[in-house]
A and B are shown apart, each in its own frame.
Chain A
């Protein structure tokens, strides 16, 4: 199957700093990428959908100025958590979908801990 990578796999940062997470489709072109967040013992919650070259569409309740998404190429999307706070600590997972498929392939996730 298709491979999606995320980097870093885990990060610990101080409150107030910004953290950038990369999501890459390694062997296919991802026209659409999705960012999810998962808190402990809860399900994945879609944060935003991004199409290559367009602005991301954010879900209700997700602050677009806090969670900056850039999908500048068909193989890379980035999520920047700006001025992170402890309540932003979570498991962030991206998924990627090709134009010719309705299957989403998930990255391995990034565990963010904000102290």
Chain B
């Protein structure tokens, strides 16, 4: 079983749609959780950290369910510029981060 699993997609949605991505992780001792965004042939960029209480940043909402070892990302009012691959990232007690394979999103006009 992979340490971090994501639905690979692709998700093709129209502008203005709401889209949700899910992620599960296998290591119950994981401490920190993140969503990164990666554009084609570019490095990943931090989108947001994920906290147990849930957190929101503009159109983006992240949720963490430790009991189910599940993380989600919700994007509201999708923009064309949201098209990218979204990476779920989990970190344990150490500094090493484990990446999911990513979910590809394409927002169409």
Contacts and interface: CB of A to CB of B under 8 A. Distances in A.
A58 to B, nearest CB: 11
The bracket for how many chain B residues form the interface is 10 to 19
B1 interface: no
A111 B43 CA distance: 11
Q: Is the interface of A mostly helix, strand, loop or mixed?
A: strand
Contacts, number: 41
A32 interface: yes
B47 interface: no
A34 B96 contact: yes
Interface residues of A, number: 20
A107 B45 CA distance: 10
B44 A44 contact: yes
B4 to A, nearest CB: 8
Contacts of A106: 43-45
A36 B46 CA distance: 16
Given A34-B96, A42-B101, A103-B46, 11 more contacts: A34-B95, A34-B97, A36-B99, A46-B96, A46-B98, A49-B96, A91-B41, A93-B44, A106-B45, A108-B42, A109-B42
Interface of A: 32, 34, 36, 42-46, 49, 91, 93, 97, 102-104, 106-109, 111
